[in-house]
Amino acid sequence: MPAPKALRPFVHREYRVLISALAISIFGSGMWAVAMVYQVIHLGGGPLELSLVAAAGSVGLVAFVLAGGIAADRIPQRRLIIAVEGANLAVIAAISGLALAGWLQLWHVAAGAFVLGVGAAFFFPAYSAILPRILPAEDLLAANGMEGSMRPVLQQAAGPAVAGVVVAALSPSHAVTAVALCHLSAFIVLNFLGRHALAAPVNGAEDGAGSGRGKTSLLHDLREGVSYTLRTPWLLWTLIWACISVLFLIGPIEVLLPFVVRDQLGGDSSVFGFLLAVMGVGAALGSLLTASLRLPRRYLTVMMVSWGAGSLPLAAVGFMDNFWTIAAALFIFGATGSVGMVIWGTLLQRRVPSHLLGRVSSLDFFVSLALMPVSMALAGPAAEVLPIWLIFVVAGGVCPIMAVIAMMVARMSDDELAHPLDRSPGDRSPEGAPPEGTSPEAERTTTGGD
């Protein structure tokens, strides 16, 4: 009896190794989010110090994510992923040792957070680029859905919950030690990734590193990724939509929703936390559902409608005074957003040429990350001059409009019919042409890493 579609990627040994390590690492990241907070407080830090430590991690991530994409296209992805996990282990182990010895200082935690942010900037483009090399194309949707359902459960729920218990029962330093053990376990598991299974059949490039990639400058590689994005309409306009959605949605949810809870529901921080958990459950279920189905024939349309229509319930949040209606709106937003994200990640892996995948993935990551703090910084001042209900109306209304504009300008309905992925599992189109945007020169230089 064949395995359910959502579980089909687990048939492949390399995927089982990779997803096991990722699950452990994500769980550790969730623990770190809580352990870091209470370690800073234990050292005498307040809101300012905590903000600086959190900002250090964000700076490391944003500053190096484009470099991480270039590295994913230049360096063997297996080697890069293992190196990043090893660096994470070294940093957390050092913080743990200093804390247990009583020598830890705030700047140690900030430096560690910065290095962890840099590690994430290198890890995720490499992870996105390695998936198409260890799985057949028809299993990529399920794999992306599995990650999308796993992340909110482990990083936003289980990891923080376990860390909170360890902090309460023992100490913040013991929670940091538990994080180090997670990264040690993930590092050990990653070393079971088969070197030969990922070796390139052309030019002898280990783990699929392109032999020609190191002959060009970093600026040239970055420019190549940007150029491909600009001349590929479906990709460019989905990124434009992502920029606008991050700018309009993140701030209201992260900054203004607590005031909606206080003023409209009469609730406290526990109510706010529960609403975020409901949104996370929606995201997990949406990802799992998408992983269980085939990639839709109208994949771009389904993706954009999921994103656009799923933002509409947020427009009513500023008017609602019932807990369950707000929870339903956030559940729908989380579920539809994850449906679009799973399809989006799969499209990157199936339609972007393999030798550009790391850079294009990092560009997507960069534009989202760069505007998150901008959105949160603008939400507060906007609430000083505008009623909160109006801000939510604008946020929930702009995104569906932009989704329609993106679909029309990029002619997505024509594009998805011209590139039917439901019956074309490779990087090439059904007619056998190179992937869109790929020049003959680029096609000739693509090596076994593809």
pLDDT by residue (tens digit) across 183-206? 999 999 999 987 755 544 332 333
Higher pLDDT, 28 or 424: 28
Nearest to 185 by CA among 425, 13, 35, 24: 24
Integer Cα distance of 334 and 307 in angstroms: 10
In the prediction, which pLDDT does 271 show?
77
In the prediction, which pLDDT does 150 show?
86
- Give the helix ranges, DSSP H, for 292-438: 299-311, 323-351, 357-385, 388-409, 412-418
Q: Are the beta carbons of 160 and 62 closer than 8 angstroms?
A: no
> Sorting pLDDT into bands at 50, 70 and 90, what band is 426?
very low
Share of the chain above pLDDT 90, in %: 30
In the prediction, which pLDDT does 439 show?
38
Q: Going from the N-terminus, what domains does the chain have, and what CATH number goes with each? A: 5-195 (1.20.1250.20), 222-445 (1.20.1250.20)
Q: Which residues are CB-contacts of 39 (< 8 A; sequence separation ≥ 6)?
A: 95, 99, 104, 109, 172, 173, 175, 176
pLDDT in tens, 76-117: 889 999 999 999 999 999 999 999 888 999 999 999 999 999
- Could you tell me how many residues make up the chain? 450
Integer Cα distance of 430 and 421 in angstroms: 9
Dihedral (C-alpha) 178, 117, 188, 169: value to the nearest 10 degrees? 10
Ramachandran class of 207: left when φ > 0, alpha when ψ lies in -120 to 50, beta otherwise: left
- The amino acid that residue 53 corresponds to is V
Q: Among 34-43, 98-107, 209-218, 431-440, which is the least confidently predicted range?
A: 431-440
pLDDT in tens, 345-385: 888 888 888 888 888 888 877 877 777 777 877 887 888 88
Integer Cα distance of 287 and 151 in angstroms: 10
> Sorting pLDDT into bands at 50, 70 and 90, what band is 422?
low
pLDDT in tens, 226-269: 889 888 999 999 989 988 898 898 888 877 888 888 888 887 76
Rounded mean pLDDT, 282-306: 89
Q: Are the beta carbons of 58 and 117 closer than 8 angstroms?
A: yes
* Cα 276 to Cα 27, 148, 160, 191, 257, distances in angstroms: 18, 16, 13, 35, 10
> Sorting pLDDT into bands at 50, 70 and 90, what band is 303?
very high
Integer Cα distance of 285 and 152 in angstroms: 10
**Token digits for 144?**
């992306």
Burial of 112 (0-12, 13-18, 19+ CB in 10 A): buried
Identify which of 132-141, 291-300, 364-373, 397-406 has the greatest average pLDDT: 397-406
Q: What are the backbone angles phi and psi of residue 113, rounded to the nearest 5°?
A: -60, -40
Nearest to 415 by CA among 234, 222, 235, 240: 234
Per DSSP, 199 falls in state -
Handedness of CA 92, 31, 262, 381 (dihedral sign): positive
- Give the helix ranges, DSSP H, for 352-387: 357-385
In the prediction, which pLDDT does 212 show?
43
pLDDT in tens, 162-174: 888 888 888 889 9
Dihedral (C-alpha) 268, 269, 272, 276: value to the nearest 10 degrees? -160
Check whether 120 has a pLDDT greater than 70.
yes
Give Rg (Cα) of the chain: 22
- The amino acid that residue 235 corresponds to is L
Computed over every residue of the chain, the mean pLDDT equals 82
Check whether 403 has a pLDDT greater than 70.
yes
Q: Which residues are CB-contacts of 218 (< 8 A; sequence separation ≥ 6)?
A: 67, 70
Per DSSP, 5 falls in state G
Ranges assigned E (strand) in 58-153: none
Nearest to 260 by CA among 323, 212, 313: 323
Check whether 415 has a pLDDT greater than 50.
yes
Higher pLDDT, 148 or 47: 148
Rounded mean pLDDT, 274-292: 85
Dihedral (C-alpha) 77, 243, 148, 24: value to the nearest 10 degrees? 50
Task: List b or e across 310-328, with b for residues whose CB sees 16 or more CB atoms inside 10 angstroms.
Answer: bbbbbbebbebeebeebbe
pTM comes to 0.74
Q: Among 178-182, 240-244, 305-309, 407-411, which is the least confidently predicted range?
A: 240-244
> Sorting pLDDT into bands at 50, 70 and 90, what band is 450?
very low
Share of the chain above pLDDT 70, in %: 88
pLDDT in tens, 49-73: 877 887 788 788 888 888 888 888 8
Dihedral (C-alpha) 285, 154, 312, 382: value to the nearest 10 degrees? 170
Check whether 333 has a pLDDT greater than 80.
yes
Check whether 447 has a pLDDT greater than 50.
no
Q: Are the beta carbons of 5 and 292 closer than 8 angstroms?
A: yes
Integer Cα distance of 197 and 193 in angstroms: 8
